[in-house]
Amino acid sequence: MTILYILLAVLLLLVLYGISVYNRYVRLRNQGEEAESAIDAHLKQRYDLVPNLVETVKGYAKHEEKTLTSVIEARNKAMSATTMEDKESANQAFSSTLKSLFALSEAYPDLKANQGFLDLQQQLQKIEEQLLMARKYYNAIIKQLNTICEVFPSSVIASIAHFAKKPYLVIEEEARARVEVKF
pTM over 0.85: no
Collect all residues with Cβ–Cβ distance below 8 Å to 101 and sequence separation of at least 6: 53, 54, 57, 67, 68, 71
Query: Nearest 5°: phi and psi at 167?
Result: -80, 150
* CA 183 to chain CA mean position, Å: 34
Average pLDDT, the chain: 81
Its CATH class, for the domain covering 14-166, is mainly alpha
Using one digit for the tens of pLDDT, what is the confidence trace for 105-124? 677 666 666 677 778 778 88
- In this predicted model, what pLDDT tens digit does every residue of 25-42 receive, in sequence order? 999 999 999 998 898 888
130-171 per-position pLDDT tens digit: 888 998 999 999 999 999 888 888 888 888 888 888 888 876
Segment (H or E) for 18: helix 2-60
Domain spans of the chain? Answer: 14-166
- Integer Cα distance of 56 and 111 in angstroms: 8
Phi, psi of 35 (to 5 degrees): -65, -40
Give pLDDT, residue 92.
Answer: 82
